[in-house]
């Protein structure tokens, strides 16, 4: 990694943080935005909610916020290239990085919505890769009370374990998929101040509870992968190169939108959803969409 560029140094994980990530499968409390920037980002997200309150392209804004927002919303695609986030992710995955998905996890004040214990990559068609990391950035105060994530340290050393599909409406996951018999006594909370992020491994067991606070809980989840993740995989999948090079071209590289909800990007969005849902629904007993909004 070049040592002469401030961009490459800001946000890089320390050796201790890297060791912690390797041992636990997650780290928390990494600052990536100052308080003014994070307030501006929240305002920009909330302005989109006002502008597109009636939906766009035949879908609600929630649909785009929850699945692949970076394909149609320039702000989300640009956030995936934030240098401080990329520097931290590069410390784990190396210098060739693609963003596979950008999503917002919003729980309104008093919301009973939860996320059950799961491993992210279970249904993503990426096999059991070690080379997928989620950067989860807090755009509000994501306290224990507000329903921050909880993680089971070391659980990423498992393969993909069995999940039961609960299809619980209160669950933000697509199938309400859930790992049974978790020993919650060893779980660790990952509370975040606005502008901090956590990083978690695609096989790390994690969950989150309801928002008992008086403010919205807003999290931005960016899923990063390397070019090699696609090696030997069936089907088609898409990702946006955000650092380095993708010489393998196993991912269909997308450029990211120039303007919100352009017609060509909405078409691409639908194509990506069709291809990814073909993977997600494999083995499910009923139809599922990629995520529930
Ligand atoms: O926002 C949450 O509570 C859960 C997010 C999550 O499961 C993820 O980003 O993988």
Does 289 fall in a domain? no
What's the average model confidence in pLDDT over 248-270? 96
For the stretch 47-56, contacts whose Cβ atoms lie closer than 8 Å and that sit 24 or more positions apart, written own/partner, are 48/73, 48/75, 48/260, 52/261, 56/261, 56/266
- Domains in the chain, number: 1
Q: Is 119 in the pocket of ligand 1 (CB under 6 A)?
A: no
**For the chain, percent of residues with pLDDT exceeding 90:** 82
Q: Tell me the pLDDT band of 222, cut-offs 50, 70 and 90.
A: very high
Does 287 fall in a domain? no
Nearest atom in ligand 1 to the alpha carbon of residue 149 is 3
Whether the pTM exceeds 0.75: the reply is yes
Q: Is 221 in the pocket of ligand 1 (CB under 6 A)?
A: yes
pLDDT at res. 281:
62
Question: Looking at residue 148, which CATH number applies to its domain?
Answer: 2.60.120.620
244 touches 95 (CB < 8 A): yes
Lowest mean pLDDT among 26-30, 136-140, 287-291: 287-291
Q: Is 171 in the pocket of ligand 1 (CB under 6 A)?
A: no
Query: Helices H, strands E: what count in the chain?
Result: 7, 13
Q: Tell me the pLDDT band of 286, cut-offs 50, 70 and 90.
A: very low
Which of the two residues, 286 and 180, has the higher pLDDT score?
180
pLDDT at res. 18:
96
Atom 1, ligand 1: residue with shortest CA distance: 105
264 touches 158 (CB < 8 A): no
Does 113 fall in a domain? yes
Does 293 fall in a domain? no
Q: In three state form, how does the secondary structure of 50-77 look?
A: HHCCCCECCECHHHHHHCCHHHCCHHHH
Does 33 fall in a domain? yes
Does 234 fall in a domain? yes
Q: Tell me the pLDDT band of 278, cut-offs 50, 70 and 90.
A: confident
Q: How far apart are CA 154 and CA 201, in angstroms?
A: 10
Lowest mean pLDDT among 79-83, 206-210, 278-282: 278-282
What's the average model confidence in pLDDT over 65-78? 97
What's the average model confidence in pLDDT over 18-37? 97
- Cα dist from 201 to 67, 131, 150, 230, whole Å: 19, 8, 13, 17
Q: Is 209 in the pocket of ligand 1 (CB under 6 A)?
A: no
For the stretch 281-288, contacts whose Cβ atoms lie closer than 8 Å and that sit 24 or more positions apart, written own/partner, are 282/123, 284/165, 284/175, 285/165, 286/167, 288/174, 288/175
pLDDT at res. 7:
46
Does 290 fall in a domain? no
Q: Tell me the pLDDT band of 289, cut-offs 50, 70 and 90.
A: very low
Q: How far apart are CA 83 and CA 168, in angstroms?
A: 37
Does 172 fall in a domain? yes
- Tokens matching residue 200: 């978690």
Nearest atom in ligand 1 to the alpha carbon of residue 217 is 1
pLDDT at res. 280:
67
User: Residue 236's CB: how many other CB atoms inside 10 A?
Assistant: 17
Q: Tell me the pLDDT band of 9, cut-offs 50, 70 and 90.
A: low
Structural domain that includes position 67: 6-280
Q: Is 38 in the pocket of ligand 1 (CB under 6 A)?
A: no
Q: Is 208 in the pocket of ligand 1 (CB under 6 A)?
A: yes
What's the average model confidence in pLDDT over 102-108? 97
pLDDT digits (tens, 9 = 90+) for 153-193: 999 999 999 998 888 888 888 788 899 999 999 999 999 99
Nearest atom in ligand 1 to the alpha carbon of residue 219 is 1
Q: Tell me the pLDDT band of 282, cut-offs 50, 70 and 90.
A: low
- With the CA atoms of 61, 65, 69 and 73 taken in that order, what torsion angle do they form, in degrees rounded to the nearest 10? 50
């Amino acid at each position: 990694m070049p040592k002469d560029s401030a961009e490459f140094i800001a946000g890089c994980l320390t050796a201790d943080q890297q060791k912690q990530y390797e041992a636990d499968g997650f780290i928390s409390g990494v600052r990536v935005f100052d308080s003014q920037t994070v307030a501006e980002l929240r305002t920009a997200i909330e302005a989109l909610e006002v502008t597109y309150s009636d939906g766009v392209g035949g879908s609600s804004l929630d649909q785009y916020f929850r699945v692949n927002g970076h394909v149609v919303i320039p702000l989300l695609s640009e956030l995936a290239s934030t240098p401080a986030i990329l520097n931290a992710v590069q410390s784990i995955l190396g210098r060739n990085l693609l963003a596979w998905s950008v999503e917002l996890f919003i729980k309104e004040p008093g919301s009973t919505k939860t996320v059950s214990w799961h491993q992210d990559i279970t249904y993503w068609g990426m096999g059991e890769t070690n080379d997928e990391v989620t950067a989860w950035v807090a755009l509000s105060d994501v306290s224990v009370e507000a329903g921050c994530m909880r993680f089971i340290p070391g659980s990423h050393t498992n393969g993909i374990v069995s999940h039961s599909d609960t299809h619980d409406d209160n669950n933000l996951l697509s199938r309400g998929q859930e790992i049974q018999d978790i020993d919650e006594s060893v779980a660790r909370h990952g509370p975040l101040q606005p502008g901090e992020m956590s990083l978690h491994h695609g096989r790390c067991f994690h969950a989150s509870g309801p928002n008992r606070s008086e403010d919205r809980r807003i999290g931005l989840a960016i899923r990063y992968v390397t070019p090699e993740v696609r090696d030997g995989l069936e089907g088609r999948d898409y990702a946006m190169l955000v650092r380095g090079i993708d010489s393998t071209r196993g991912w269909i590289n997308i450029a990211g939108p120039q303007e919100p909800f352009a017609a060509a990007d909405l078409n691409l969005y639908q194509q990506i959803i069709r291809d990814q849902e073909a993977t997600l629904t494999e083995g499910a007993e009923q139809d599922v969409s990629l995520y529930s909004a």
